[in-house]
């Protein structure tokens, strides 16, 4: 929406539409993939230009859309979670800053006292408060928390177990840490890297996902259909400048990890999440942005 606020997609003046507009978005993205799969590009398109070679026996070009991988930030991360659960062509996903579990998100939000007033109560809210449960019930058909188990842990019949890398930001002002904990548990991932907040290690043991897995992380989980998948969540502190909600674009460490995740998955079929400290060994300038911000950095 040109000129609209970042929360415009919630359509706060028509909350009942949220469920169906989000599901419509998933359907449209699946239709786009289908359209790309069926697209036929004739050789004549390249008249006067150097045409790429055609495979033996082919007279036109088509796009290879499988395997597909998805990355989404915030609003887009909701779609990444939902698409990865229902589109069998998708083999891996990176949802960053993903909201979800709306009754918990609203109860943990800094605006919870105002939300309480709107619900007619001065009592502290929690995700089981009846008014929030009504909202959760109404929106659950389009809530990423309901889709997360189908991404990898318990995929739909005839679907692959997708690999998942979830970078999460400490102090994210839009998504509470409790929601990140819940989404990690629902998705069926293990934690790697430093522990910046401890509640995730209180939540993950509910599915025997406790402990810190060492880098490099690869094929560390088994889905209910017996398939191995890479499933990992990593906590990050922000850069101290921008909101940690956007660590996917702030931090070179996050960029390096999701680059290697996608690169390994697409080239070998197996997703690998490496230690970000190996970035320079791989020729990735992990500290380049810091040097640009501070020309005195040696």
Assess whether pLDDT exceeds 60 at residue 31: yes
**CA proximity to 75, closest of 232, 250, 246:** 246
Domain boundaries of the chain, sorted by first residue: 73-101+143-293
| Average pLDDT of span 189-197 | 97
Assess whether pLDDT exceeds 50 at residue 296: no
For strand 163-170 and strand 231-237, is the pairing parallel, antiparallel, or unpaired? parallel
Assess whether pLDDT exceeds 60 at residue 39: yes
18-38 and 75-86 are packed helices; what angle lies between their axes, rounded to 10 degrees? Answer: 60
Neighbours of 222 (CB within 10 A): 15
HEC letters along the chain: CCCCCCCHHHCCCCHHHHHHHHHHHHHHHHHHHHHHHHCCEEHHHHCCCCCCCCCCCCCEECCCCCCEEEEEECHHHHHHHHHHHHCCCEEEEEEECCCCCHHHHHHHCCCHHHHHHHCCCCCCCCCCCHHHHHHHHHHHHHCHHHHHHHHCCCCCCCCCCCEEEEEEEECCCCCCHHHHHHHHHHHCCEEECCCCCCCHHHHHHHHCCCCEECCCECCCEECCCCCEECEEEEEEECCCCCCHHHHHHHCHHHHHHHHHHHHHHHHHCCCCECCHHHCHHHCCCCCHHHHHHCCCCC
**CA proximity to 263, closest of 71, 133, 7, 100:** 71
In angstroms, the CA 297 to CA 276 distance is: 20
Place of tokens 């909202």: 135
pLDDT greater at residue 122 or residue 226: 226
Neighbours of 114 (CB within 10 A): 10
Assess whether pLDDT exceeds 50 at residue 294: no
* Residue-averaged pLDDT of the chain: 88
Residue 111: predicted pLDDT: 75
| Average pLDDT of span 174-178 | 94
**CA proximity to 223, closest of 180, 147, 159:** 159
pLDDT greater at residue 163 or residue 6: 163
> Per-residue pLDDT tens for 236-279?
999 999 999 999 999 999 999 999 999 999 999 999 999 998 87
> Per-residue pLDDT tens for 41-53?
888 888 767 778 8
| Average pLDDT of span 209-234 | 97
Question: Taking the model in full, what pTM does it have?
Answer: 0.87
| Average pLDDT of span 133-150 | 91
In angstroms, the CA 147 to CA 82 distance is: 6
Tokens representing 144?
Answer: 């990423």
> Do 223 and 229 meet the contact criterion of CB atoms below 8 Å apart?
yes
C-alpha 72, offset from chain centre: 5
């Amino acid at each position: 929406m040109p000129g609209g606020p970042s929360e415009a997609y919630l359509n706060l003046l028509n909350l009942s539409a949220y469920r169906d507009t989000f599901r419509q978005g998933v359907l449209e993205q699946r239709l786009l993939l289908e359209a790309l799969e069926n697209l036929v590009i004739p050789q004549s398109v390249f008249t006067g230009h150097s045409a790429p070679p055609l495979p033996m026996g082919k007279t036109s070009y088509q796009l290879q859309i499988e395997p597909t991988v998805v990355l989404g930030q915030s609003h887009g991360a909701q779609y990444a979670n939902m698409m990865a659960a229902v589109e069998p062509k998708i083999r891996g996903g990176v949802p960053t800053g993903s909201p979800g579990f709306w009754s918990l998100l609203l109860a943990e939000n800094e605006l919870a006292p105002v939300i309480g007033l709107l619900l007619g109560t001065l009592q502290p809210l929690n995700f089981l408060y009846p008014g929030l449960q009504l909202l959760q019930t109404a929106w659950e058909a389009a809530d990423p928390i309901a889709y997360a188990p189908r991404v990898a842990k318990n995929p739909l019949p005839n679907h692959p177990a997708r690999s998942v890398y979830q970078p999460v930001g400490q102090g994210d002002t839009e998504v509470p840490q409790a929601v990140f904990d819940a989404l990690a548990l629902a998705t069926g991932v293990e934690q790697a890297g430093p522990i910046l907040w401890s509640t995730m290690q209180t939540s993950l043991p509910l599915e025997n996902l406790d402990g810190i897995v060492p880098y490099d992380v690869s094929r560390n989980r088994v889905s209910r259909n017996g398939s191995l998948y890479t499933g990992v969540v990593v906590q990050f502190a922000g850069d101290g400048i921008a909101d940690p909600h956007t660590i996917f674009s702030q931090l070179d460490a996050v960029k390096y990890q999701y680059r290697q995740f996608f690169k390994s998955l697409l080239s070998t079929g197996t997703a690998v999440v490496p230690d970000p400290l190996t970035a320079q060994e791989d020729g990735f300038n992990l500290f380049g942005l810091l040097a640009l911000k501070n020309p005195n950095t040696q």
